[in-house]
Structure 1
């Protein structure tokens, strides 16, 4: 059993710990925590619940940059991962963002299956390509985009 919920300020330490343990960039997470969701697993034997996954987005209207998608290896469940991404994309739609971009590593095929498409670096919007997250990550990975609304519906 798990719960996916909006991240709160109290979650920053656990989110950063998850990212660091996975070797992912945690720079700027604190600046965008309001656009993060976490997976919370119940504690054992009455202990407090703990965060076992997270996904976040940097918002640069009218677009967003998906970042920090992580689930603990021991807790990895494709269904939970898919739900976490779907919740973030629904949230992007709620914010009326037109597109969500990301920089995919080995997970590019996973994101293609949910509707992301590969794009050239040169096609990234300036706010996205100039984000602290992408500047720190560098050109490692495959830029991808997801259209939040089919053509003409936004």
Structure 2
């Protein structure tokens, strides 16, 4: 199969992709057990000919299992597996996963290059021990590996930064570290964020349109390329008039409501022998 690397796209899986994913796994002699339950957290590599790679994530309340990383044999060796792994790690971060684990029988050197470290299988958290991968798919000889996401820099490709609903008329994404949060908002005309205050300091830069900040004694009009800085606990409202707005915000400390996992808008975004990797 001839693939133009410039035409490869990466997208979250949708229900309509289920059969194609299963066919890819079948062709690679890989299992499909447990996939449908976590399909929303599978990421696909696609070319004009269809799905050429896949990786999955199982989320367990702050703990994640990376699974089912595979690339069609005819397009291996082109970096597609690394790209899929990178996106799975970034997606895990957006789902507030702090520790990411995997099992592999054949690809520990590959995953080590991606930042994973070997640990004893018995040290994996209980929710993972109860997963189908740990209980039945992976042999006892499989290597268990772990990544602490807070200890590494993480790259977020555009397709991972999926918008989720906020107040009516506004959508956003947020990426947080322990002490700092960055958000991006798209806001429709005639939208309003009612008066509020928060502990977090806020710095907002308008990328497109015009955003209005209503304080106790003055209203500021912030246009494209302009910035407003709001100290902690300053009461304000925010609204748009007749223009669509795009803006970014920096927050410290983190605003928890802006980093909650949410799959509602991922539709546009979205193996191994048991436990392994074919990339």
- Common fold, TM-score beyond 0.5? yes
Unaligned runs of 5+ in 2: 1-6, 153-176, 179-279
Equivalent pair of 1:66/1:100 in contact (CA under 8 Å):
yes
Using the alignment, how far apart are the partners of 2:87 and 2:42 within structure 1? 10
Match in the other structure for 1:12 = 18
RMSD value over aligned CA atoms? 1.5
SS of residue paired to 1:149: helix
The one of 34, 44, 49 equivalent to 2:40 is 34
Counterparts of 2:20 and 2:105, CA distance in 1: 23
1:40-119 maps to which residues of 2 (within 5 A)?
40-43=46-49, 50-119=50-119
| Structure with more strand by fraction | 2
Q: Return the structure number with greater helix share.
A: 1
Q: Which of residues 5, 26, 29 is equivalent to 1:23?
A: 29
What does residue range 118-137 of structure 1 map to in structure 2 within 5 Å?
Answer: 118-137=118-137
The structure with the largest alpha-carbon Rg is 2
* Cα pair 2:53 2:80 within 8 Å, conserved: no
- 2:146 maps to 1:145: yes
Which segment drifts farther, 15-24 or 57-66? 15-24
Q: 1:25·1:133 contact (CA, 8 Å) conserved in 2? A: no
Deviation at 1:124, TM superposition (A): 0.4
Number of matched residues?
A: 147
Q: 1:32 Cα deviation (Å)? A: 0.2
